[in-house]
Amino acid sequence: MADFDVVVIGAGPGGYVAAIRCAQLGLSTACIDEWKNAGKPSLGGTCLNVGCIPSKALLESSENFERVTHDFAAHGIGVDNARMDVTKMLARKDKIVSDFTLGIGQLFKKNKVTSLHGRAQLLGRDDDAWRIGVAGGEEVRAKHIIIATGSMPRALPQAPFDGARIVDNSGALSFTEVPKRLVIIGAGVIGLELGSVWRRLGAEVTLLEALPTFIPAADEQVAKEALRAFTKQGLKIHLGVQIDGVVQDADALKILWRDAQGVAQELVADKLIVAVGRIPNTQGFGAETVGLKLDGAGRIEVNEHCRTNLTNVYAVGDVVRGPMLAHKASEEGVMVAELIAGQAGHCDLNLVPGIMYTAPEIAWVGKTEQQLKTSGVDYRAGQFPFMANGRARALGETTGFVKILADAKTDRILGVHIIGPMASELIQQAVLALAFAASSEDLARTIHAHPSLSEAVHEAALAVDKRTIHI
Look at residue 117 and give its three-state secondary structure. strand
- Which amino acid is it at 250? A
How far apart are the C-alpha atoms of 342 and 361, rounded to whole Å?
39
* N- to C-terminal Cα separation, the chain: 69
Contact 43, 115 (CB under 8 A): yes
The whole-angstrom separation of Cα 37 and Cα 97 is 10
CA dihedral (118, 115, 94, 269) positive or negative: positive
Q: Which one-letter DSSP state was computed for residue 186?
A: -
Active site residues: 450
User: How many whole angstroms separate alpha carbon 454 and alpha carbon 385?
Assistant: 12
* CB burial string 384-399: b at 16+ within 10 A, e below: bbbebbebbeeeebbb
In 81-221, DSSP assigns E strands to 114-117, 120-126, 129-134, 138-147, 151-153, 166-167, 181-185, 204-208
H helix or E strand, kind and range, residue 459: helix 455-464
295-301 long-range contacts, Cβ below 8 Å, gap at least 24?
A: 295/321, 300/147
User: At 462, is the secondary structure helix, strand, or coil?
Assistant: helix
- Within a 10 A sphere around the Cβ of 434, how many other Cβ atoms? 21
Provide the CA 198 distance to its chain's centre, in angstroms: 19
DSSP state at residue 324: -
The CA R_g of the chain, rounded to the nearest whole Å, is 24
DSSP characters for 328-385? HHHHHHHHHHHHHTTS-----GGG--EEE-SSSEEEEEE--HHHHHHHT--EEEEEEE
**Torsion 320-326-327-331 (CA) sign:** positive
